[in-house]
Amino acid sequence: MNILVTGANGQLGTELRNLAANGKDRWIFSDVSQVPGLETLSLDVSDLDTLRLLSESESVDLFINCASYSDVDKAESDQSLADSINHLAAASLAKVSFERGAFLIHISSDYVFHGDSSVPYKEDDETDPLGVYGVTKLAGERAIENSGCSYLILRTAWLFSPYGHNFVKTILELSAERPNLRVVFDQIGSPTYAADLAKFICDVVDRRQFIDGRIYHITDEGAISWYDFAKAISEIAGGYDVLAGKARRHCDILPCHSEDYPSAARRPHYSVLDKSLVKRDFGVTLPYWRDSLLKCIDRIFGMREKA
Ligand SMILES: NC(=O)c1ccc[n+]([C@@H]2O[C@H](COP(=O)([O-])OP(=O)(O)OC[C@H]3O[C@@H](n4cnc5c(N)ncnc54)[C@H](OP(=O)(O)O)[C@@H]3O)[C@@H](O)[C@H]2O)c1
């Protein structure tokens, strides 16, 4: 099977690249931008003609769409670009998948929900995004659903990894520099290690579990606030500095309300996803976020030592 990954140099795409080497399929990694040392085909997913040509020349059977406009705040003032990547490009991928008879695995977000629930969101709960990012991700889902192609949409949340921009790396950097940090405690979600999601996707591919025409929720287990997450990151990182014989600068992580931390985009107060369906249909056991956080921070410190 020929598999084209788009947005392959982002967090999820890089973790897929790490795992895919073990599989029996032919994986092709593409992105709009290049990263030194990573073999990447140049592909802007919003360019339908190039997408079509490339899919033809590489005889693509399966698309895994990891490309995204991910900056939730910037999207508020950059609506057109966010829409072109999160919505229109998803529509183009669906169109090409349909034309080729290929399968599309697409990644969506917990931010399609409003966040006024107090129980985990199920796949068919009403969507009502608060900001441009969520609106464009939802439009991407709808375009795929209406395209007639064979697809699987995976809604995930709060991705972290040693790569790209994410909350774990930001907290590691800021807590090493500042005496204190204020972090919101009134937004609850489920941190998800990109490597765990990549493993799930690779297993789906290996087992050919291409369940068609469905949306599934998949995150790591557990639900916490960004504040609790920051506390855990700082605590675990402190242990590494002690081990390395370094005096870590003490940083107080302090809780604050969302309104005390103004940002361009409104975010859901509660975006925990119910994962019952994915567990039932795929027989998957999902890791607990803190166990995966330990693994991720271990890799980040390991990479720093090698650098
Ligand atoms: N990160 C999260 O917390 C989170 C939460 C929920 C859902 N998700 C979803 O999970 C998926 C993977 O997220 P991620 O964190 O791995 O994203 P990411 O790290 O932002 O990676 C996205 C990749 O797509 C590339 N890209 C942007 N525009 C493109 C275009 N026109 N054509 C091709 N590639 C393009 C980006 O390149 P540049 O960096 O050069 O722009 C980047 O390499 C996305 O669908 C995202 O919406 C993420």
Sorted by where each starts, the structural domains of the chain and their CATH numbers stand as 2-165+193-221+272-287 (3.40.50.720)
pLDDT digits (tens, 9 = 90+) for 114-147: 999 999 999 999 999 999 999 999 999 999 999 9
Ligand 1 center to 211 CA (angstroms)? 23
Q: In whole angstroms, give the CA distance from residue 254 to residue 304.
A: 27
Q: What is the pLDDT of residues 8-41, one digit of tens each?
A: 999 999 999 999 977 789 999 999 999 998 899 9
Tell me the whole-structure pTM to 2 decimals.
0.96
Q: Quick one: 290 exposed, middle or buried, by C-beta within 10 A (0-12, 13-18, 19+)?
A: middle
Nearest to 150 by CA among 97, 100, 206: 97
Which of 159, 215, 216 to mutate for ligand 1's pocket (most ligand atoms within 8 Å of CB)? Answer: 159
Strands 224-225, 188-189: pairing is: antiparallel
Task: Give the pLDDT band of residue 81 (cuts 50, 70, 90).
Answer: very high
Q: Would you name the residues annotated as active-site residues?
A: 133
Atom of ligand 1 nearest to the CA of 46: 31
The per-residue pLDDT for 250 is 81
